[in-house]
Structure 1
């Protein structure tokens, strides 16, 4: 059975130093095999895992996240790819804030329409019928400007009919604008009426930012130039405000995936300034706690591979388990299985965790984290292989000195919210009472049906290492680790340790 080393290490007594050195050596070998598996299909997935873990960090304040991303955006050389991605998010979420900038610089859009009939028709041809539909977008700007400045530009309006329309007639019948030759009229305005492009009428049509979606690529490039070539104060104010008000998690999910590896390393170095692992963590199972601690202790960014591996073994246990069980990696899978077995055997020989910890603590901080992370993954891997039924779990608890209350339900509460004490029986003996298997299976199957499809999916997990228990083989317990207030189920082991 698996040795969990739950008792306090006896530093005075010592232990088998040869076994501990063997364990350390085997852990290094295991780390090498796992890393080769991770990068076999490229490093992109390992980087995505790291970005997801970073996005869970909760100690970064809104002002800090704004300073963090602005520092990256303004570092040399300019991060135009990052800026482009950020601008696209702002376009989607706050088009009006960008539209207000365009309204102040409406004259810049004169070139946007020159020689481009598609853009002209898309923006200026939305005339209404004068009854239920009103003029919209550029059509409204064109008609309003033409009336206000009719002495200046009315002759530049091109009509599809045999003759043109007078301002007086069109004022009483606005639907006549439907007969306007929009393309030729706008081309005339581009050549002969420059006043239109800086007019209030045209600027007003831009304020809601809807024009951004006519050609996203053009406007992204335009605003990148405003950021870096003109250093536009208005643009940077919009960016600063957005970076401070958007959630850190959302920013990370949308922006970090665009970074090259070198830029990601720079970001993590900047992030180190704000990480505070001394804050009370929500729980050691929280991935943000571990990534904060790793970043706080991780100074050697030249070994970026090490950081990717550290995050993978700590925060991606289940994904690694799937990876090493891939049918296309049979040789590596066999090697991992053999190393896990050797480590477990050496752990049984060592009998104490103290010498292993001593060996680890003599190394660098990041090496300690990696070795202990690999050690915990070995235990997780072995538990996934061995503990496939309620009986196995109870044997594990007993062999490791864990007392427990037993319950036959996944939930400790009945449907009416009451707790049935008769369902939980104190039992700390190595052997436990067994119910008739057929009756137990039927009862637990009914309970499982009420848990929904999510539980069924988690339990329908079959691999080369072994099959996790079907609903009829699972159990629920209260453990003695904190006065029987901690609940534990076979389901919880496989669900809480996943990092999708």
Structure 2
């Protein structure tokens, strides 16, 4: 059996330096193995985990998120990469906000098209056929400008075929523009009609921002210049508006990953001043719940500690997979050996040495509790396979439960029996159905007579063994969720971590 350290008598102790050193030494070894596996391919994935957890914080207001990202955009070393990433997101999500800005600087696009036939054809070749539809994009701007200024620029239009088209003819049959040699025409305009590039017709074609899709990298560079060299007020207003309208989750997932780690630490330090998580209600299903508590209570002195603690609390299953699939035999045996010592079966053991140290309320001390909770997760995942083992764990650690034997092969109108532990203050009366046994026999006979798999008949009892799964309602979350044996290791370990840090920060 495993001691979960859920009672305060496991925590209150005068302290023993030898016990403190022993447990910390074991947990440090566990940390070393896990950190090595986490970062074997670099730190990017571990940072991505943290960024995704930050993205799940839902208590940041739109105006606060604008302030957070604007401070990063104006004050720190990663601002160039961050701004480039933000502009990419802006171009993708709301190009119509950026379009009017480039429209006002339309003359700058003369160099964008010069010597680049691909760009010319992408933007100016969208003439309509005989269907009656309008020309689109640059084709619309070119045709309108050519008609308005036909006295001075019509001769610059290059036509395929033996002769050109007159303005009068094209006015009655706009689809004749399909015969225009677009590349040669635009090259003429670049050389002999410079007024076109600052014209209202060309600028109008840019306002919806579709031009940005031709080469986002080019426009990112232009807009970075607008932001930091010209300090363009209009662009900063667009950025402010976008940062308010876009979700905090989207901004974090797209932007934080490009930050240098010192800037990520700075961002987290800004966030912690905005968080007020409730410790009286545990949100086990929200990975960001743990991060909000940790950030609001502890300063981030080391990004490594936070990366590790986030992995322990929000990526427990991923760490288990790394141990099982990526670790060598020495790593696996080392983890098992450490876990067996820090998750004892004896109820005489105490978590007091770590709990006492954690009262310092810094990230280093909370890290020990995170490692301890993951060790519990590991042992539960590795060793607990039967209903009896789980119920024994519940009983011996004071966790009240109700059991349900529902499984997928039961009829929709058939209810299963509910069981309650002797510790449960609420009765869970058993419900039996008169026809239950008869129905099972009927289903078994029908299945054997009608269904087969290969040469063998399907037996209902064997299917019951395969698909039947015990589920429990637990007092750990006020019986609000049905937990299966697959999810219990993570839930129980999270509950332990929650109980411990609640005691550290509130004393209860």
TM-score range, shorter chain: 0.7 to 0.9
Q: Matches of residues 100-499 of structure 1 in structure 2 within 5 Å?
A: 100-277=100-277, 283-284=283-284, 286-301=286-301, 303-326=302-325, 328-345=327-344, 348=346, 350-361=348-359, 363=360, 365-409=362-406, 415=412, 420=415, 423-428=417-422, 471=466, 474-480=469-475, 487-493=482-488
- Matches of 1:21 and 1:202, distance apart in 2: 73
Deviation readout 1:271-309 (Å, 9 max, x if unpaired): 2332333587562553222212222344353x3211211
- Matches of 2:29 and 2:92, distance apart in 1: 48
Compute the displacement of 1:492 (Å).
Answer: 3.1
- Secondary structure of the residue that 2:486 maps to in structure 1? helix
Size of the alignment, in residue pairs? 457
- Secondary structure of the residue that 1:478 maps to in structure 2? strand
- Matches of 1:279 and 1:349, distance apart in 2: 27
Change (3 A) 1:300 1:90: closer
472-481 or 160-169, which deviates more: 472-481
Compute the displacement of 1:181 (Å).
Answer: 2.2
- Secondary structure of the residue that 1:9 maps to in structure 2? helix
Change (3 A) 1:497 1:232: farther
Q: Say if 2:146 and 2:153, in contact at 8 Å, map to a contact too.
A: yes
- Please name the residue that 1:453 is paired with: none
186-195 or 472-481, which deviates more: 472-481
- Matches of 1:213 and 1:391, distance apart in 2: 61
Q: Say if 2:145 and 2:196, in contact at 8 Å, map to a contact too.
A: yes
- Secondary structure of the residue that 1:41 maps to in structure 2? coil
- Matches of 1:9 and 1:195, distance apart in 2: 84
Change (3 A) 1:388 1:311: same
- Secondary structure of the residue that 2:283 maps to in structure 1? coil
Q: Say if 1:318 and 1:498, in contact at 8 Å, map to a contact too.
A: no
139-148 or 15-24, which deviates more: 15-24
Q: Say if 2:407 and 2:467, in contact at 8 Å, map to a contact too.
A: no
- Matches of 2:260 and 2:492, distance apart in 1: 29
Deviation readout 1:80-115 (Å, 9 max, x if unpaired): 222121111111111111112222221121111112
Deviation readout 1:199-241 (Å, 9 max, x if unpaired): 2211121122111111222112111111111111222122111
- Matches of 2:159 and 2:220, distance apart in 1: 35
Change (3 A) 1:50 1:387: same
- Matches of 2:123 and 2:12, distance apart in 1: 81
Q: Matches of residues 74-113 of structure 1 in structure 2 within 5 Å?
A: 74-77=74-77, 79-113=79-113
In structure 1, list runs of 5 or more residues that go unmatched: 430-439, 447-469
Q: Say if 1:15 and 1:351, in contact at 8 Å, map to a contact too.
A: no
13-22 or 116-125, which deviates more: 13-22
Change (3 A) 1:116 1:401: closer
- Matches of 2:309 and 2:174, distance apart in 1: 68
- Matches of 1:352 and 1:498, distance apart in 2: 17
- Please name the residue that 2:450 is paired with: none
- Secondary structure of the residue that 1:491 maps to in structure 2? coil
Compute the displacement of 1:47 (Å).
Answer: 1.0
- Calculate the aligned-residue CA RMSD, in Å: 3.2
- Matches of 1:497 and 1:397, distance apart in 2: 10
Compute the displacement of 1:46 (Å).
Answer: 1.4
Q: Say if 2:470 and 2:484, in contact at 8 Å, map to a contact too.
A: yes
397-406 or 82-91, which deviates more: 397-406
